[in-house]
Every structure is written in structure tokens, then in C-alpha cells.
Amino acid sequence: MLSWLSVVAVAFLIGFVSIRAWWIERKKRIIVERPNSFSVSKAVHNQEDEEEWWRRIELEHLHELNREYVERLLCKIDGAGTGTLTKDERAFMERMAKLDAPPRPGVRPLPWPSPA
């Protein structure tokens, strides 16, 4: 009788642990945007704003090396979208856009670090 109860208890425990693990994994999945939805997620809005902001970079005010790199990145965005840019390329584009661009609505500009 004792061995039968221990087998049932172990089976119940294994079942409970596996269902709990499945439930936790299920909760981790994040749905960014459902197909054919009428609302657009905040991340998509930010991405569009970012691309628009980068396109307003005044190339004639940039150094020729920076200008060439910005043009190359804009061509990359035209071909494959902003998702293909690396973290460093995004940071570069944001630095170039901050040089003489008007402040973006709703975004507080970061103060420049003081020279040491």
C-alpha cells in the first residue's frame, strides 16, 4: 500500500511541476501586435518617429565621413528597415540627429557631459 501511494505522489508531483513550468513559459511569451489589428503598438510608433527623425538630419552640416556613413545607413534602412541596424549604428544615428535637430516632442534632451 505504501509503495502504491508513493508512486501516485511522485506522479502527481511530476505532473504539477511540468504544468507549472509550462504555465510560466506561456506567461513569458509577449505578443507585440496581433495581425490585422487596428491599434499600433507604442514600439512601432517610436520606430517610425525615430526613422523620421533620422531622415531630417541635415547632411550638409556634417563632416564628409559622417555624411557618407549616415547616407549608407539611410540606404540600409530603405532596403531592410530600421530593425537591421546594430546597437552602435542606432547610437551613431541618434548622435548625428541630436547635433542640430530641434527637440523631439515628449522627449527630454540629455545634458552633454562636462569636459573633464
Report yes or no on 26 lying in a domain: no
Of all residues in the chain, the percent with pLDDT exceeding 90 is 3
Report yes or no on 72 lying in a domain: yes
Report yes or no on 28 lying in a domain: no
Report yes or no on 3 lying in a domain: no
Span 50-65, pLDDT tens digits: 778 888 888 888 888 8
Domain count, the chain: 1
Radius of gyration of the chain (CA): 25
Check if the beta carbon of residue 68 is closer than 8 Å to that of residue 113.
Answer: no
Report yes or no on 91 lying in a domain: yes
Span 9-62, pLDDT tens digits: 888 889 889 988 888 887 777 666 555 555 555 555 555 577 788 888 888 888
All 3 cell numbers of residue 98? 541630436
Report yes or no on 112 lying in a domain: no
Report yes or no on 82 lying in a domain: yes
Name the residue range of residue 74's domain: 42-98
Mean pLDDT of 69-86: 87
